[in-house]
Structure 1
Amino acid sequence: MTNPVFTLLTGLADANVDGEGDRPAIKRINRSDSETVVRLAFRAGQVMAEHLAAHPILVLGQTGAIDFTVDGQTLRLEPGSAVRVDGRVPHSLHAETDGTVTLVIVHGS
């Protein structure tokens, strides 16, 4: 349900039910003038190869254990943890277990 002052976002921790391909299931949950919210649902062993985003991002651990590599460091994203990365910085993700992360792409003010 969308309201002029808020939007309730659900399904952020939904599992990858689309099979066992090489890449996580990616679903855009919401887009506004200021940000885009995306769910990345991984099966254990799936990888999102090194890439970059044009804008700053915030990646929040929802379920499971997802390794996030940026600037030569690997960080473990689990429920209750997050990482913020400037735009145009290469990073990659690797699922140690089945799990989901929420990606927030900040593209406005």
Structure 2
Amino acid sequence: MAGTHEGRVIEFNELFKELEPFETKPQAKKILEADGANLVLLEFATGQTWKEHHSVHPVVVQVLKGAVDFTVRGDTLHLVPGKPIHLTAHLLHELTATEPSTVMVTMLTGELHPEPTVNLPATEH
């Protein structure tokens, strides 16, 4: 299959200015629904936890700023920027911020979206 120059690029500007954690829990916002994936941004204050949960899709979790303890199957992984992880669908997991943190979750949906939904300031190229 040949490549193409047709398509779109969406650039997010200044993600770190968009969310603040709530007083008692992290704040989450779906920032993009597009072909193949959804992006979710989470903002944590130190000590806040996203209680055990799962995704119906495989996900990639990456810390953009700060650090979190990521607990899965009884193991705790310390995630920092530059150390993303991939989880299969339905795998239970929990996150606790060890410092103020911004986390990006890429939900690998495989869905088609002819027009993406963008929920933060962004530039399309």
Please indicate the TM-score interval, normalised by the length of the shorter structure: 0.7 to 0.9
CA distance in 1, matches of 2:60, 2:16: 16
CA distance in 2, matches of 1:18, 1:24: 5
8 Å contact kept, 2:71–2:93: yes
- 1:74 maps to 2:76: yes
Unaligned runs of 5+ in 2: 1-5, 112-125
- Report how far residue 18 of structure 1 moved: 4.6
- Report how far residue 17 of structure 1 moved: 2.4
Which amino acid in structure 2 is aligned with residue 24 of structure 1? P
8 Å contact kept, 2:26–2:49: yes
Unaligned runs of 5+ in 1: none
8 Å contact kept, 2:37–2:108: yes
- Report how far residue 52 of structure 1 moved: 0.5
Structure of larger gyration radius: 2
Which structure is higher in strand share? 1
- 1:4 maps to 2:30: no
CA distance in 1, matches of 2:85, 2:68: 12
Which digits, 9 at most, give the CA deviation of each residue in 1:59-97, with x for residues without a partner? 011111111111221111111111110000000000111
8 Å contact kept, 1:51–1:92: yes
CA distance in 2, matches of 1:15, 1:97: 18
RMSD after superposition: 1.9
TM value normalised by structure 2: 0.76
Which amino acid in structure 1 is aligned with residue 31 of structure 2? I
CA distance in 1, matches of 2:63, 2:44: 12
Give the number of equivalent residue pairs: 106
Structure 1 outlier segments of 4+, above 4 Å: none
CA distance in 2, matches of 1:103, 1:97: 18
